């Protein structure tokens, strides 16, 4: 994957702040030539509300992350925030921190379909735009050995649903409908369109 250090950034007429410490989102933006002017991770409570649906959670958290940085806005600054949620029906899977959590997620996802929701928010001094993009993913049946090997890789740490599609788990995907970058953590087509709608103009990068 392209690194922000390896890309010639495109010039824009707006200052862009990314409200996320996720290296995956930074790499995704770099793929389309966008390098944030500043990265300020938003510190919010990401707990789900009672009976909250996965899509609603992703959209709400993206909005709250952007709003958490609102005080740092000026007239020429945009804040981009996002959150990714994996859901099986209305069940929200955790961002796994322990091997037992990741094993439970992989056993649940094996041989069935699920949805990945990434909510994102673009906030400026005069507008708030929040959207949520859905991708559908199906896993093949997984053997105990495959699950154990994936757990040993450590790729599951901090990942929604206990897997990273851009890593070894790509071998588990039997079908995918929708945006691949959305599953990684940021739907690039939709984000770039919203940024343009928020008044961002993209110019050729300069050496």
Annotated active-site positions, please?
83
Cα separation, 115 vs 55, in Å, equals: 9
Count other Cβ atoms within 10 Å, centred on residue 167.
15
Which residue(s) pair with 62 in the sheet? none
The answer for residues whose C-beta is within 8 angstroms of residue 82's C-beta and 6 or more apart is: 20, 25, 62, 65, 118, 119, 120, 121, 185, 186
Cα separation, 121 vs 10, in Å, equals: 21
Cα separations in angstroms, 149 against 97, 123, 168: 17, 41, 10
Cα separation, 143 vs 3, in Å, equals: 34
């Amino acid at each position: 994957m392209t690194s922000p250090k390896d890309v010639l950034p495109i010039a824009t007429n707006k200052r862009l702040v990314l409200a996320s410490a996720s290296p995956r989102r930074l790499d995704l933006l770099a793929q389309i030539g966008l390098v944030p002017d500043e990265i300020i991770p938003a510190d919010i409570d990401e707990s789900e509300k009672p009976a909250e649906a996965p899509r609603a959670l992703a959209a709400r958290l993206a909005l709250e992350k952007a709003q958490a940085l609102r005080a740092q806005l000026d007239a020429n600054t945009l804040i981009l925030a996002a959150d990714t949620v994996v859901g099986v029906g209305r069940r929200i899977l955790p961002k796994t921190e322990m091997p037992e959590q990741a094993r439970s997620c992989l056993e649940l996802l094996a041989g069935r379909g699920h949805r990945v929701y990434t909510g994102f928010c673009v906030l400026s001094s005069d507008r708030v735009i929040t959207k949520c993009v859905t991708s559908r993913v199906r896993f093949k049946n997984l053997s105990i050995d495959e699950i154990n090997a994936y757990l040993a890789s450590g790729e599951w740490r901090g990942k929604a649903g206990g897997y990273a599609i851009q890593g070894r788990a790509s071998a588990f995907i039997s079908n995918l409908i929708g945006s691949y970058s959305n599953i990684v953590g940021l739907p690039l087509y939709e984000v770039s369109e919203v940024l343009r709608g928020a008044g961002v103009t993209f110019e050729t990068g300069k050496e």
